[in-house]
Structure 1
Amino acid sequence: MNDIEFSALLCSRLCHDLISPVGAIANGLEILGDEEDEMMRAEVMTLLGQSAEVTSSRLKFYRLSFGAAGGFGEKVPIREAESAVNGLYNSGKINLTWHSDVGLVNKDALKVMLNLILLAGESLIRGGDLLVEIRENNPGVEMTVTVRGDKIILQDSTRQALLGELGDEQIEAKSAPAFLAASVAARLGTKIGFTQHNEQSFSFQTSYQDKE
């Protein structure tokens, strides 16, 4: 798969995740144009605000997880990542717990971690707990993402893409974030680990050596 083909898949994934809240904003504005009842208009305005917040949160997250994270140097403050992840999950059924003793994270390593968080969160079909841990282990940094929930589904294609077991021709928009995480991890000289604790819990692990 060449870079253009993969970029198209990633763009498809991005559009898929944004079309719902953006569509809700468009529908809400259309209703406002015709609605004269003040109570109904107030309800529509509330929904518009919620949809705008979801859209903004997802864009902030995808800027770091998919994009070049312009405006930052080679390292990104971990608080930026935590804020983006909190924004992604603050209105759903996922309980986020974040532990970090690291202040700055390599931009590429952060990209790997955020895509792991995205994929882990998607596996929590009915919601559950999402634990993120970033620990210093000089001269490196270790990252672990763990989920626990009543119903967890991690697609085989996602797991295989993360572990480098899926051929380029088998990558789809759904598994594009996994392929991105694996590719960036390889560029860092590291790999992504997967541990199945039981039917209701698993973890992703990765690490990188800080050269500075």
Structure 2
Amino acid sequence: MTISPVDFASLLCSRLCHDLLSPVGALNNGLELLADEHDPDMRARCLELLNESAKASANKLKFFRLAFGAAGGFGEMVDAREARAAIEGLFGENHRVKLGWLVEDTTLPKPAIKVLLNLALIAGDALIRGGRLDIGAESVGGAVEIVVRADGPRIVLDQELRGALTGTSGDAVVTPRAAAAHLVQALLTEAGGTVQVSAPDEAVLLFGVTFKS
């Protein structure tokens, strides 16, 4: 499927706005409650909730800036620690998803970092009831190999995301929730890479990517 740059930018912006709506809305509600609340204990709780919402908003912005935007600088390589910090900020704070980081390279090509982050986003969202998310990557013989594994009591990767990832969506309409998957496919197509996705009936969700560094 071919999507115009304008439509693709719209998809990414819609996805970002969707993910920020909840924590930003919580900030607004918390401020309204704080304005009308006079009990010291309740005010302290409101401030605690405001702090949590502000931190969640900041973490999401940092993640999407690196996954979708130009964070990491304009060089060809990006510090892998930035990707780890972004993923930990997105998933690590709520303790719903346990993270395993298996990346030894100190830097990776920018396209590889973006693919890794977006696959982590998709896999983490697929863990409906939480679970474990393992992320590995290494440079081998002029290529970068990435593996993302999600394991939990319930894993849901719907056909839209699966089709967008593998480039088999056909003429189906791409919605904002599939923006990350479409970005992965676009990056791999540009780099001459490939992606493998585990079968729907597998007990775990597994993504495997290889492309030239």
Q: What TM-score bracket applies, with the shorter chain setting the length? A: over 0.9
Among 162, 179, 184, which residue is 1:181 paired with?
184
Task: Give the structure-1-normalised TM-score.
Answer: 0.94
Identity %, equivalent residues: 42
The whole-number CA distance in structure 2 between the counterparts of 1:3 and 1:70 is 22
Among 19, 26, 30, which residue is 1:17 paired with?
19
The whole-number CA distance in structure 2 between the counterparts of 1:132 and 1:113 is 8
Deviations 1:59-82 (A, max 9, x none): 111011111225352211000000
* 2:145 corresponding residue in structure 1: 142
* 1:111 corresponding residue in structure 2: 114
Deviations 1:112-136 (A, max 9, x none): 1111110011111101111101123
Contact 1:109 1:185 in 2 (8 A): no
The whole-number CA distance in structure 2 between the counterparts of 1:123 and 1:71 is 30
Unaligned runs of 5+ in 1: none
Q: 1:11 to 1:168 in 2, by over 3 A?
A: farther
* 2:159 corresponding residue in structure 1: 156
Deviation at 1:34? 1.6
Query: 1:88-103 alignment to 2 at 5 Å?
Result: 88-90=90-92, 91-103=94-106
Task: Determine helix, strand or coil for the equivalent of 2:38.
Answer: coil
Contact 1:76 1:106 in 2 (8 A): yes
* 1:130 corresponding residue in structure 2: 133
Deviation at 1:145? 0.1
Contact 1:109 1:188 in 2 (8 A): no
Task: Determine helix, strand or coil for the equivalent of 1:152.
Answer: coil
What letter is aligned with 1:86? E
Deviations 1:148-178 (A, max 9, x none): 1111110111011000001365211111110
Contact 1:193 1:206 in 2 (8 A): yes
Contact 1:76 1:105 in 2 (8 A): yes
The whole-number CA distance in structure 1 between the counterparts of 2:111 and 2:171 is 21
The whole-number CA distance in structure 2 between the counterparts of 1:36 and 1:45 is 12
* 1:65 corresponding residue in structure 2: 67
What letter is aligned with 1:142? E
Deviations 1:90-127 (A, max 9, x none): 11411110011211111112111111110011111101
Task: Determine helix, strand or coil for the equivalent of 1:130.
Answer: strand
Deviation at 1:141? 1.9
Among 167, 170, 175, which residue is 2:173 paired with?
170
The whole-number CA distance in structure 1 between the counterparts of 2:205 and 2:29 is 39
The whole-number CA distance in structure 1 between the counterparts of 2:74 and 2:135 is 22
Task: Give the structure-2-normalised TM-score.
Answer: 0.94
* Cα RMSD, aligned residues only: 1.5
Alignment of 1:39 with 2:23, yes or no, is: no
Q: Which runs of 4+ in 1 moved over 3 A?
A: 196-199
